[in-house]
Amino acid sequence: MLKSLRAVARFFQNTIGWNRIGVLLSIAIISVAAVVLLHMLRDIDTDEVISALKATQPHHIAAAAFFVACGYFTLTFYDLFALRTIGRNEIPYRIAALTGFTSYSIGHNIGATVFTGGAVRYRIYSMYGLDAIEVAKICFIAGLTFWLGNATVLGLGVAYHPEAAVPIDQLPPWANRVIGLAMLAVLVSYVIWVWSAPRVIGQGEWKVRLPSGPSTLVQICIGILDLGFCALAMYMLLPGEPNIDFVTIAVVFVSATLLGFASHAPGGLGVFDAAMLVALWQFDKESVLAGLLLFRLLYYIVPFALALIILGTRELWLNFKGARRRGKPELIRSVTAPIRTEIESGKTDAD
């Protein structure tokens, strides 16, 4: 079986290439999502969407904003955990928090988070002595935290409530439960694998020591908290009727997030929204769309603006400090030049 899988993998690598497969998959996801979204939005009443926005209770919006803030606070520990994993214990939490918040805020909105977030990380961490390889390792560990959290939340949610995933994958509940249990089995196997002995992947300078068993449990908890807070924010922005339990919302939210991530569209735009509209068929489409607009404002636009302000202010401050450092020697020379001239001229007269 393993030999067969390797043979299939080699075939795709040699004939098509994994990069092309990824691009084709992204295009397919975006295309399907665009068709679905256009079909669902063609009879949307704009006035009803505006009414739904106005009907959203202010304290629900405030609660959603709080959960979004908690989610971004949790994201800062992605970077802190990765830094400690690769042995860079001297980097303080404030730098990890700055990098984690800004890299994810920008990466979420621009898309291709691995590259855009990695560029932000390199800009900040390089000033503290980290090279490109170490930054790549941080991106890998942070990405692993994201996937472990997703696998845990989705596996537990689908195994417990398999009907929640039916509108998205169109599979019967029993098949979804089997998939959920399989995901949990793979997750448990991975934890046992890293718990049994130190594990290293990669070669040469690219070797990465995977977190140990206990550290992996911490890693999973970080991912669960991040997704849980985000799902709670979305939950608060949906109408109270019909009454949908939080587990269903969490399963739908994580599934839609993964589809948006796989599409590489900025912020999963269109893909995430189409999946949410399809899965939450119990609600009025106008109400779901209003909730999605508010969620995008709170989770994407506001943090993105804050990240740009923080990074812009930081760059101005660094340039100002650099100019001051460069200016001091010139200032000293300008002040001391007349004195040196007088001294030298005095020596000449004495001679």
| Cis check: omega of the bond before 242, within 30 degrees of 0 | yes
> What confidence score (pLDDT) does residue 205 get?
80
How confident is the model over 9-50, as pLDDT tens digits? 454 455 555 455 545 555 555 565 555 555 556 666 677 778
Interval 5-11 mean pLDDT: 48
Residue 2 maps to a domain: no
Instruction: Provide DSSP, 97-127.
Output: HHHHHHHHHHHHHHS-HHHHHHHHHHHHHGG
In a domain, 219, yes or no: yes
Residue 266 DSSP one-character state = G
Most trustworthy range by pLDDT among 111-115, 187-191, 318-322? 187-191
Q: How many domains does the chain have?
A: 1
> Is the residue at 341 inside a domain?
no
pLDDT of residue 229: 94
Rounded distance between C-alpha atoms, residue 212 and residue 210, angstroms: 6
pLDDT digits (tens, 9 = 90+) for 224-269: 999 999 999 999 998 877 778 888 888 888 888 888 777 667 667 7
Q: Could you tell me which residue, 320 or 331, shows the higher pLDDT?
A: 320
For the chain, the average pLDDT equals 80
Q: What per-residue confidence (pLDDT) applies to 79?
A: 93
Q: Does residue 203 form part of some domain?
A: yes
Helix 18-41 to helix 271-279 angle (10° resolution) is 50
336: in domain: no
Boundaries of domain holding 101: 57-318
* 29 vs 263: CA distance, rounded Å: 6
For the ranges 98-102, 185-189, 210-214, 261-265, which has the lowest average pLDDT?
261-265
DSSP assignment of 7-60: HHHHHHHHHT-HHHHHHHHHHHHHHHHHHHHHHHHTT--HHHHHHHHHHS-HHH
Contacts of 171 (CB under 8 A, 6+ apart): 165, 179
* pLDDT at site 277: 83
Asked whether the predicted pLDDT for residue 162 surpasses 80, the reply is: yes
Mean pLDDT of 68-89: 92
Q: Which residue type, as a one-letter code, is found at position 302?
A: V
pLDDT exceeds 50 at position 300:
yes
Q: Distance (Å, rounded) from C-alpha 212 to C-alpha 198?
A: 7
Residue 97 in any domain: the answer is: yes
Q: How far apart are the first and last CA of the chain?
A: 97
Residues 229, 71: contact at Cβ < 8 Å? Answer: yes
Q: Say if 46 falls within a structural domain.
A: no
Residue 341 reports pLDDT greater than 70: no
Nearest to 73 by CA among 89, 94, 52, 48: 94
Residues sharing a CB contact under 8 Å with residue 85, sequence separation 6 or more, in sequence order: 141, 209, 211, 215
Give 170-190 as a DSSP string: ---HHHHHHHHHHHHHHHHHH
Residue 200 carries which DSSP code? E
- Indicate the residue type of 124: I
pLDDT at 346: 52
Please, which pLDDT band fits residue 120 given cuts at 50, 70 and 90? confident
Predicted confidence (pLDDT) per residue in 174-188, tens digit = 999 999 999 999 999
Assign 92 a pLDDT band (cuts: 50, 70, 90): very high
21, part of any domain: no
Per-residue confidence band for 329, with pLDDT thresholds at 50, 70 and 90: low
H or E stretch at 208: strand 208-209
Scanning the structure block, which residue is given the tokens 């569209």? 265
